[in-house]
Amino acid sequence: MEFTKMHGLGNDFLVFYGLEELPEGVADLAVKWCDRFFGVGGDGLVFILPSKRADFRMVIINSDGTEAEQCGNAIRCVAKYVYDHGHTRKTELTIETLGAGVQPVSLIAENGKVKTVTVDMGEPVLQAALIPTTLEGDSVIGRKIETDGAAFDFTAVSMGNPHAVIYVEDAPSFDLLTWGPKLEVHPYFPRRTNVEFATVTAPDRVEMRVWERGAGPTLACGTGACATLVSSVLNGLTGRSAWVGLKGGDLFIEWREDDNRVYMTGPAETVYRGIIE
């Protein structure tokens, strides 16, 4: 099978094109191929498949073999792949995802190659039961969560997949490896959750580090950046647009008042192509 190694701000994937459906045993293949020592290495597999509803359909299999509903970095990689390889000449296209349905995507290209991608990430889901969480109430903003003797305040947001955003004094140095896996599987989250640790440094800038459900610590998370911006607005910490600084680089996120939708702008890069025998 031919693949292309791509990344969005260091969140890296093996991208496959040309299949009509997922290969048999894809969960086991993801675990094997994403291993950074005995495989190719990556945060997940991304399959670009035909769609009856959009220009293309994206399926993401995490490095632990589970399927992700949505991934903001992966969708930028898909948009770059299909344009750079001549599968579309559109700079305005649609990509179908499991968690967010049909998503409009806008491309900025130079010399036939995509430089930046803006994705309509849809409306944030704030209802507790739909995120989903086991907590009661219409929304989960600044609620207490306890695990292993520690307590945090978190805000829950779904961007097609669940997120728990926690504000800390210094996100870049926070102990992600200790608390991320504990919070991912907390009983509050029946389908587990992505966990973002964030520090607001200005009304238009947030530093964030992420523990991704099914992948662990990653250099960037597009949906996590979107959830963090939404959470920051709900908690009165930023305006409705801000740069979110991740370990792999920056994303520009807007939560527009006119349509209540979140827009993400950032790059995607191709690393190399290969063949798995």
- Contact (CB, 8 A) for 30 and 45: yes
Q: Is 77 a catalytic residue?
A: no
Q: What is the CA radius of gyration of the chain?
A: 18
Q: Is 226 a catalytic residue?
A: no
- Contact (CB, 8 A) for 176 and 209: yes
Which token pair is 14? Answer: 């093996």
Residue 221 CA to residue 246 CA, distance in Å, equals 8
Pick the catalytic residue: 34, 71, 77, 226?
A: 71
Residue 162's alpha-carbon distances to 88, 156, 184, in angstroms, are 31, 7, 10
On the 0-12 / 13-18 / 19+ scale of CB atoms within 10 A, 110 is exposed
Which token pair is 157? Answer: 């947001």
Return the amino acid letter for 259. D
Residue 115 CA to residue 107 CA, distance in Å, equals 8
Pick the catalytic residue: 34, 77, 221, 226?
A: 221
Strand 92-97 to strand 11-17: parallel, antiparallel, or no bridges (unpaired)?
Answer: unpaired
Which token pair is 150? Answer: 């520690």
Residues in the chain: 277
- Contact (CB, 8 A) for 114 and 84: yes
Residue 52 CA to residue 69 CA, distance in Å, equals 18
Please, what is the angle between helix 72-84 and helix 222-234, to 10°? 130
Catalytic residues: 71, 221
